[in-house]
Each structure stands twice: as C-alpha cells, then as structure tokens.
Chains A and B, each alone.
Chain A
C-alpha cells in the first residue's frame, strides 16, 4: 500500500464548557449563552490525524454529526489541515445517544473507506468517551483508546499505539482499519495558517450526508437510543464551615483535631 491511508477524524460541536452554567435559583441549564466551539479533546484527534498523514501519506477527512451550523467545527479541522469534510445532518439523528451516534459515524467511516478513524478522549458536554469504541464495535474493527503516541506501520497495514493504562503504559499493534481515541492533551495541536483558515471559512464547503445517504434512517434517533434522560436535578452543595484562619498554628489545631 503506497498511496497512503484514508484517515477520518470525528469532531463535535459543543457549548463552550467555561460558559455553561446552571441557574442556582431555577436549576435550569443556561446553555444558550455559551458559544458553540469544537470539543477541546478533538484538537488532539485532528493533530494526530494530520501527523499520521504527514508520515504515511493519504488524506484526512473530518466528520461531524449535528445541525447545519456544526459545519463551523469542520471549518476548524480544515483550517488546521484536514483535506475534506463531511457533515452528517438530518432531523432523524435528533435525540441519538451514543449507540446510534457511533453507528452513524461507523457507517460514514465505511463509506469513506477509512483505514484509521480518530476521535477525542471524550466530549466536554457529555463526558462518556463511548463513541470511539462504539464506532469500532459497530464495524468490528480494532480500537485503541487513551492513546499517548502512534507509530504507523504502513508496510504491515498496522498501527502501533502507546496507550495509557493504570499505573503505566502498553504498546499495542492493531490491524487496519482501526479506531483511535487520543488521550486529551497528549500532543500540541497546530494552529491554522492564515490562508488555510480563510479558505476553510469562505470557499470550503463540506459534503452533506443525510441518514438515508448512509443507510441508517431507521436506526438512529431517540426511539432507538437505549438510554434516556429521566430527570435532571441540581446537585446539593456539601455544607462546609468556610472558616478562615489567620495563622499556621490555628491551621495545625484543626488538623490535629481531625487526627
């Protein structure tokens, strides 16, 4: 295989985590004020995809699922250097939990004839980390999560990854195609060059696919999602003394008291 790898990177538009808040009086989520941004761990995924392309050759295609406005995160990925982008957009996707979401992305990856699919460790708005393993499971492909570093081996059709495991690391070789979830913060995402950024935000148009285009129109959405949100409550703050002390002696008193 000399013409390089088909690399897909999955990205997600999320509300800026620093701007989402809960109204302490009403308990209602204040999401509207938050700016829509690319999920921050996804920057590590895009960077890893570009680095592998730089070594192996081939193309990087960014894929997202969301409303039409989600093309903003595809522009971010293209600005960083992705070659192509696909927007999965359809009202049928609404209400999907991680099961149908990973199905749609898995079908898109198949459609793109992917050798490697990248994703971030988890999203900042739902923090499950379940979508990359879900994509791999739907396609019966290999998966590598919590990845710290990559050694592409195109001559063997394999990708070797260093994974973070409790108390250490492991190096795992996976047959292609493989789904990789990069550990958050493990590489230095590049900034978009000015010309590339202008191209991404003006001339560039992503390909749009509906649920029917990837053959999942009956398998996505709220109705087929195994999990549902049954309720949301504001978390009760733990009562604390909140007493400020003046000197270290007094601090030591309180510590000795507990001991």
Chain B
C-alpha cells in the first residue's frame, strides 16, 4: 500500500541535483544567515560533486553587489529572478516563482534561513513542490546512504534525524548563527543567470502597505555576549554598561523579549538566535533548556543568579550566587580598572 501511495507523489530522485541556497534580501540588504548557508552549502555540494546555486529574488537585484558577493562566498551559479513583484518579500509571488524554478531545474537540496521571512517562505514552497521540509536544522550531513537533516527535539534534550527518501528537494531551514559564514573571496568564479519570471502583480493576493525596519542587531557574530533574563525585572541598563565596557552585544531570553525590555533581534534560544561567543555572561537567567540550546556552544559561560538551584549553573563554567544588582556595578568597576590598567601597560 505504501508503495502505491508513494508512486503518485514521489519524485524521480535521480533527476534531481545541486544544492540551492535561498538568498534572503530586503531592499538590497542580505540577511547574514544567507552567507552562513552558502558556507555549509559549499561543503555539501563539494561532497556531491555538484553545483552550489544561489537564488536571488527582488527588484533590480541584478544591479546590486548581491550576485557577485554570492559567488565570492562560494556559489557556482546565481539565479536572479528580477521583478517589482518580488520587492518587498511576499509569500505568494515568491512561492509561485520558486515552484516554477524547482519544477524546471530540479534541485536536490535547498537551504533557507530560519528567520521569520525564511520560515514563511519555506512553509509556502514545500507544498506545491511536494518537498520534504525540516525546520530549524542544526546538523546537515551526507552519509553513505542518504542526506540527514538533524534538529533538536523535545526542547533540546534530543536530536532527531529527519530523512526524505522519496521526495525532492530536501529542504531545511537553519537558524542564524548555526553555521560559519565564509569570508568573501573575490577570485572565485561563477555565472549569473536571469531566469524567467512567471508571476505578475495582478495575480498576487497580498499588498505590503507599510514596512518599518530599523537597524537589525546581529548578535550571532559577537565575541562577547551579555544576556539578561527575568531575574533583572526589567532593569536592563547594567547589561548595556557591561556589554559596552567589554565591546560585546546584549542578548536576552524569550520572556525578556516578550516583556519588551529588549528587542526581538537579540533573543537567544530555540525560537531566537544561536550564538557561539568566546564569552557568554548570563545574568538573572534561570537556564531553561530552550534558552541553553541557543548558547551552549559558547566557549566560556559565566552565570550570575540569586537562585543556587538555577539550572544555568550546570551549563556554566563559573557561577556566582548573588543578586545581579549587587554584582554588576561592582563587576563593571573592577573590570574598568583592570582594562584601564592593561591599556596603560600595553
């Protein structure tokens, strides 16, 4: 029965090749996760001995640096779908264009950033292509038998391996910060190709009335992260003081972001960003597994919490049981003196 049902929907697996990366761009600004995906995509394409293809959609994107930068970061080919219907992003025209390209060009693997835009896009396009889609993958590996997409399950206690044996493309979303972005190498060569645009404005179902986007903080590249949790009770200023002193970035748990104390772009954890700094200072963070998942690749973790039983201490290298309001001002003062002293001796 399974075989019969499969026969109707399964793809001709052998006919599919190449690794595609969806280039998420908004008005010419490329989401950083795109470059991280090109890094991982290059590895996968090399292993398969196939091409790494970057897909750029937007208006007048051909005239931007984006195609060249995609090549400098590893793409063999760049497909450009250029049309006013693609700016700003909307799921319906993007979805229809992607469906068409997949049907004609048959990619084997597709990688999409796990941002709001990327997840909106991925969920839309997986259906008409009958692709297998795995959300929030953290490991992607081609084994002897198959392509394995791994993702945290049950709040990070487990790692599930997802396979997609009979359908193509094998798609996954990846949160920002999971993979390393390659530095651009201007000597890399690749081809840029304009593709046929199959959607027009009169067929769209949505209209963007207004779009307000400020500077988006990127905490995923920070070497030092000072993160705050509910223990701060909204008193986030000392976090900024400490981060400024150390040249780091401020981050927060989901609850803190939901309270509106810190902006969403700085959220670390299962539904936010993954960070891997040299130093992660967790202040007033209990250490719920959903948060730890986004920071446990940090080299050194320091925890400040007034609850000796907080799970964050099990995930920390050095911890102090104390009230943040007592510790932070003193810590900032001591560090300022030491850093000043270092500068003098240097």
* A binding-site residues for B, Cβ under 8 Å: 17, 20-22, 27, 29, 97-99, 102-103, 122, 126-134, 136-138, 141-146, 160, 163-175, 178, 184-185, 218-219, 221-224, 226-235, 237-238, 240-249, 251-252, 254-256, 258-259
Chain A positions within 8 Å of B199 at CB level: none
The segment from B3-11, B47-55, B70-78, B188-196 found at the interface with A is B3-11
Assess whether B130 is interfacial by the CB under 8 Å rule: yes
CB neighbors of A among B221-247 (8 A): 224, 246
**Contact (Cβ within 8 A) A224 B279:** no
Contact A252 B331 (CB under 8 A): yes
Partner of B88, one of A97, A130, A170: A170
Check: B181 CB closer than 8 A to any chain A CB. Answer: no
Is the beta-carbon distance between A170 and B155 smaller than 8 angstroms?
no
Contacts of B265 in A (CB 8 A): 166-167
Known pairs A17-B155, A137-B123, A143-B92; A218 contacts B205 (CB<8 A): no
Contacts of A97 in B (CB 8 A): 132
What distance in Å separates the Cβ of B141 from its nearest Cβ neighbour in chain A?
A: 11
In the complex, what residues of A have CB within 8 A of residue B123's CB?
98, 128-134, 137, 143, 145
B91 touches A256 (CB 8 A): no
Cβ of A163: which chain B residues have Cβ within 8 Å of it?
116
Interface class of chain B by DSSP:
mixed
B148 and A244 form a contact (CB under 8 A): no
Taking CB as reference atom, which chain B residue is nearest A29?
A: B154
**Would you call B161 an interface residue if the criterion is a C-beta within 8 Å of the partner chain's C-beta atoms?**
yes
Distance between Cα atoms of A233 and B116 in the complex (Å) = 28
Is B133 engaged at the interface, CB distance under 8 Å to the other chain? Answer: yes
A-chain residues with CB within 8 Å of residue B318 when the two chains form the complex: 241, 243-245, 251, 254
| A168-B214 contact given A141-B205, A145-B119, A252-B331, CB 8 Å threshold | yes
Q: Is A165 a contact partner of B213 (Cβ separation < 8 A)? A: yes
B313 contacts A166, CB within 8 Å? no
Q: How many residues of B contact A (CB 8 A)?
A: 98
Indicate which residue in A142, A235, A256 contacts B156 across the interface (CB closer than 8 Å): A235
Interface contact A241-B206, CB-CB below 8 Å: no
A252 touches B335 (CB 8 A): yes
- B319 & A227 in contact (Cβ 8 Å cutoff): no
Greatest chain A CB density within 10 A among B161, B206, B314 is at B206
Measured CB to CB, the closest approach of chain A to B210, in angstroms, equals 4
Task: With CB as the reference atom, state the residue of chain B lying closest to A100.
Answer: B9
Considering the chains assembled together, what is the distance between the CA atoms of A170 and B210 in angstroms?
A: 5
A248 touches B320 (CB 8 A): yes
**Residues of chain B lying within 8 A (CB to CB) of residue A98:** 123, 126, 133
B31 in the interface, Cβ–Cβ < 8 Å? Answer: yes
Q: Output the least CB separation between B7 and chain A (Å).
A: 10
Q: Which of A133, A218, A235 contacts B157 (CB 8 A)?
A: A235
Please name 25 pairs of A and B residues whose Cβ atoms are closer than 8 Å in the assembled complex, sorted by A: A102-B127, A103-B127, A128-B136, A134-B126, A137-B125, A143-B91, A145-B119, A166-B115, A166-B116, A171-B211, A178-B205, A224-B9, A227-B162, A229-B160, A230-B146, A230-B161, A230-B163, A232-B160, A233-B159, A235-B152, A245-B319, A251-B320, A252-B335, A255-B281, A256-B335
Nearest CB of A to B255, in Å = 9
Q: Which one of B92, B116, B164 contacts A145 once the chains associate, using CB atoms below 8 Å? A: B116
With A249-B334, A251-B327 known to touch, is A130 a contact of B126 (CB < 8 Å)?
A: yes
Smallest distance from the beta carbon of A14 to chain B beta carbons, Å? 11
1/0 contact string of B285-309 vs chain A (CB within 8 Å): 0000000000011011110100000
